[in-house]
Structure 1
């Protein structure tokens, strides 16, 4: 899952390093430094009027965290690479993200279905001309 989603996810503070830095408990698969400047952090709040929906945890596949693709919404080609707009299972539309095809190795069936559907729409449009 993209780094953008990391901003939507609450992480446990494990240690206050200084008045300007905190250590967070991060999944090993993120492979990033676990100390953050306080200006990059915000408190996690639960509102009884708008409860934070429980989101499904990622699956661990070969030591890497993977999130399930619910739907592929769109695609684009940039600098010779295909990117897909992904709706993540259990996540809100604002968490949708563009992902390069090479990061979607376990979502090949979803890519095939999306491309087949897109081809059918193109053929149907051509027939109506």
Structure 2
């Protein structure tokens, strides 16, 4: 399932630098399960600052279809209701995705869950 590429995670890791090959290329220490080349141009890398965020997983590569990342819904964290201009209300759900920390959760409209009714049903059972 392709889901809003602009919401996809931009950076993975952090990863250790195995060696600097030259002034523009680094070799990274990637998990063995990732079947990608381990050498990167430095313009594609971002220096990591701070402590590693809780729930960060770097052992599983993201699923990719073509050049688009595939995001898989995991669970609904909370919901909110908003009033529209026409007087109708809509419900938004804060959705956590598999292999992503909670900080990457996104607000999704109820229509999104037509493809994933089990996630919405599970959440609704626990809310009541």
Q: Given the two structures, how large is their TM-score scaled by the length of structure 1?
A: 0.49
Greater per-residue helix proportion? 1
Q: Given the two structures, how large is their TM-score scaled by the length of structure 2?
A: 0.49
